């Protein structure tokens, strides 16, 4: 049984249909990249997976448990499914350490000392332990995004969702963030990435999904999708990426 099963989901905003019977499976320890044009629903899919958005029909199961529809404990779901946003969304009134320890303290009920003891090695790992008592506004974009990743990791999630986490960064800061994702992939973290970094998608992912028309238009191993796409629409999309010099 796959870890994440997305079965035939549909969702629309007014007259705009985001998903039209989309299905997708993610195995444990897989890194799945979602690619596609802007507005194709990459971000929305990730937000549905941890309950920030609801779906109109179909269902999503994680470890066999249904996590969509009425009566689902979204707070419990979010404890196990972390998400990192394009715009970092750190809490500006808290220090880096407070950002990271807030959820472990308030959601998991850990004492402050224990949460700090768990957070510091994580900050150490991303090379920002010395910034623990700084406020986010004093950090560069890349540093903020690394803290945001650690903030999600501090909850020890089973699944990590990364929503275009390098899109808001200056080019020279992208690598420091991607290196962390590489490390996490090597550790076996199950991850879903919405990304425009095609080179990176090709390198780390076990599966690439091209989203179009409210469905997974084509999926397969990265060599197949980037090397020899079978669908005309996938090929056209990748052609435009190549023209933009991004692949």
Partner 1 sequence: MTDFSESGEARRPRLDEKRSFGAGAAPKDSRGWSATAMVCALFIILAAWATFQAAGQHAAAFGLGGTVSSLLFWVPVFCAALLLWPAIKSVTRGQKARDAVAAHDLITARIETANALNYAHYTVGFAALFVVVIALAQFLMANNLAVSRTFLSVPLLDLSFPLILKAFWVNIYIFVVAEICVLVWGLIVAVARLIPGKTAAPIRAIATLYTDIFRGMPAIITIYLIGFGLPLSGLPILKDLSVETYAIIALTLTFGAYVAEVYRAGIESIHWSQVAAARSLGLTYMQTMRYVIVPQAVRRIVPPLLNDFIGLQKDTALVNVIGSIDAFNQAKILSSNYFNLSPVTVVAFLFVVITIPQARFVDRILEREQRRTRAG
Summarize as ranges the residues that interact with partner 1 (CB under 8 A).
47, 50, 52, 74-76, 78-79, 82-83, 85, 87, 89-93, 102-103, 106-107, 135, 137-138, 151-152, 155
Nearer to partner 1, 88 or 237 (CB): 88
Nearer to partner 1, 58 or 157 (CB): 157
| Angle, alpha carbons 164-167-172 (nearest 5°) | 130
What letter does residue 118 receive in the DSSP assignment? H
Nearer to partner 1, 156 or 231 (CB): 156
| Rounded least distance, CB 103 to partner 1, Å | 4
| Rounded least distance, CB 42 to partner 1, Å | 16
What is the spatial distance between Cα 8 and Cα 20, in angstroms, rounded to a whole number? 8
Nearer to partner 1, 78 or 217 (CB): 78
| Rounded least distance, CB 87 to partner 1, Å | 6
- Say how many CA atoms lie within 13 Å of 3 toward its Cβ: 17
Residue with tokens 């991004």: 246
Class of residue 194 by CB neighbours under 10 A (exposed 0-12, middle 13-18, buried 19+): buried
Nearer to partner 1, 160 or 212 (CB): 160
Structure tokens at 128: 């920002």
Q: Of 159, 152, 91, 106, nearest to 126 (Cα)?
A: 152
| Rounded least distance, CB 168 to partner 1, Å | 12
Nearer to partner 1, 138 or 240 (CB): 138
| Rounded least distance, CB 136 to partner 1, Å | 8
| Rounded least distance, CB 118 to partner 1, Å | 14
160-175: buried (b, 16+ CB within 10 Å) or exposed (e) per residue?
A: bbbbbbbeebeeebbe
Q: Of 36, 144, 30, 56, nearest to 94 (Cα)?
A: 144
């Amino acid at each position: 049984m796959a870890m994440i099963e997305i079965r035939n989901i549909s969702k629309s905003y007014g007259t705009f249909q985001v998903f039209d019977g989309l299905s997708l499976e993610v195995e444990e320890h897989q890194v799945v990249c979602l690619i596609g044009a802007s507005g194709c629903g990459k971000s929305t899919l990730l937000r549905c997976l941890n309950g920030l958005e609801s779906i109109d029909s179909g269902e999503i199961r994680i470890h066999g448990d249904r996590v969509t529809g009425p009566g689902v404990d979204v707070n419990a779901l979010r404890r196990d499914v972390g998400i990192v946003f394009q715009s970092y969304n750190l809490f500006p009134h808290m220090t880096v350490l407070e950002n990271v320890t807030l959820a472990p303290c308030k959601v998991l009920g850990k004492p402050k000392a224990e949460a700090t003891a768990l957070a510091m090695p994580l900050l150490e790992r991303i090379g920002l332990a010395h910034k623990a008592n700084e406020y986010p506004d004093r950090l560069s974009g890349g540093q903020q995004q690394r803290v945001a990743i650690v903030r999600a990791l501090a909850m020890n999630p089973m699944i990590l969702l990364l929503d275009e986490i390098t899109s808001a960064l200056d080019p020279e800061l992208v690598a420091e963030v991607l290196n962390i994702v590489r490390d996490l992939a090597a550790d076996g973290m199950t991850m879903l990435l919405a990304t425009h970094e095609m080179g990176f998608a090709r390198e780390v992912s076990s599966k690439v999904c091209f989203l179009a028309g409210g469905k997974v238009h084509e999926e397969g191993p990265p060599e197949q999708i980037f090397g020899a796409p079978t669908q005309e629409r996938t090929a056209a999309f990748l052609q435009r990426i190549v023209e933009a010099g991004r692949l």
